[in-house]
Amino acid sequence: MKYNFDEIIERKGTNSVKYDISRNRSKSEDIIPLWVADMDFRTLPAVVDELVKAARHGIFGYTSINENYFKAVHNWYKNRFDWTTEPSWLVPVPGVVDAIAISIRALTNEGDAVLIQRPVYYPFTKIITQNKRKLINSPLLLKEGRYEMDFDDIEYKIKKENVKLFILCSPHNPVGRVWTKEELLRVGEICMKYNVTVISDEIHCDFVYKGNKHYVFGSIKPEFLDNSIICTAPSKTFNLAGLRTSNIFIKNKNMRNKFIAEIENSGMSQPNTMGLIACQAAYEHGEEWLKQLIEYLENNIKFIKDYLHTYIPNINLIELEGTYLIWLDFRKLNKTEEELEDIIFNKAGILLNKGTIFGEEGRGFQRMIIACPKSVLEQAFIRLEMAINGRIP
Ligand SMILES: Cc1ncc(COP(=O)(O)O)c(C=O)c1O
């Protein structure tokens, strides 16, 4: 491998949410933070080089996207997902969560129903309720260890609640599903039938493991593209979350105008100078880096599977198809969430995301990020095994 993903990079004291907040929460200095979705790997050298060059120039004035920026983003989606985009569809926004909030405010009114599928990335719930929209949940079904959409329930609730918007998490955080073409087609058809606009959050689309394939929602059918907002970003893929740069694609002009008007209403029309530089460099030069990273993550997954199988068989790993977040099923331990928290956080010294923050459906589960050096995971699982078996007082 050309890139060294084994390197332990000190992040404490860098004002990192992942490290410094968890350290503040814990009494212990050596807590292993495996919660927030940002990786412990340095981004690719080409991104660092471009940022250093810009930093040395020393002027950080207003900026905007140009032809080369668009080309880099366009080529990435064309080459990886066979999806053809056009410059006019692209609206840069700081974050995908921002884009979802903007979409909700631009396309619905207070009291309108918005559909999500729990357990799901918790800000969806917050954005819907804090904007005074009605939250409608169609829980995913866990069938023989794999999560599936409940199409009958989706249709029933869309009809009954007069749903206006559906926030699709694709690939799905936290359950790690990469939706198949058939699943996307079926859910997309239901949305078309009842005039439900789809906000497709595809921030994890670059992390897809062997045997799975990600389809951009808007690439499935022209009508789907016309009825959706496709949210993408280089932030998860290349570990750039703090640079606040996302690329939102909206083909439908009427929808796009409403979206842009809402951005302007919020007074946040300017993109981040360094973010655009990093995004362009990542998409231009990042293919090989990402290929090696995915191989590394596949090896991490294999380690976890083997470890659980051998040493902690009563914790079940939900098969990871995509994302770098695993969903661990602790239900066989028969512990309350507080008891689990005591074992995992207080005794093992690991900070995870407890399942219920993703909805009540997540009770008994925990989410863990695996985008870190394997040695960190080895240490975490050894501690977890010892804590579960009462070998840490
Ligand atoms: C599904 C999903 N959407 C959005 C985000 C955050 O996006 P941003 O930081 O661009 O707002 C995350 C971060 O973990 C995520 O998992």
**pLDDT by 10-residue block (mean), the chain, 393 residues:** 94 90 68 95 98 98 96 98 98 97 98 98 98 98 97 98 98 98 98 98 98 98 98 98 98 98 92 97 98 98 98 97 98 96 94 97 98 98 96 78
- Residue to probe by mutation, ligand 1, list 118, 173, 268, 369, most atoms within 8 Å of CB: 173
Ligand 1 centroid, distance to 94 Cα (angstroms): 11
CATH second-level architecture of 17-43+287-388?
A: Alpha-Beta Complex (3.90)
pTM: 0.97
pLDDT of residue 390: 86
CB of 175 within 6 A of ligand 1: the answer is no
Ligand 1 centroid, distance to 232 Cα (angstroms): 10
pLDDT of residue 221: 97
pLDDT of residue 27: 60
CB of 121 within 6 A of ligand 1: the answer is yes
Ligand 1 centroid, distance to 233 Cα (angstroms): 9
pLDDT of residue 22: 62
Q: Which sequence spans correspond to the domains of the chain?
A: 17-43+287-388, 48-285
The rounded distance, in Å, linking the Cα atoms of 369 and 352 is: 8
CB of 169 within 6 A of ligand 1: the answer is yes
Would you identify the CATH topology of the domain 48-285?
Aspartate Aminotransferase; domain 2 (3.40.640)
pLDDT of residue 393: 72
Residue of minimum CA distance from atom 9 in ligand 1:
95
- Of ligand 1's atoms, which has the minimum distance to the CA of residue 95? 10
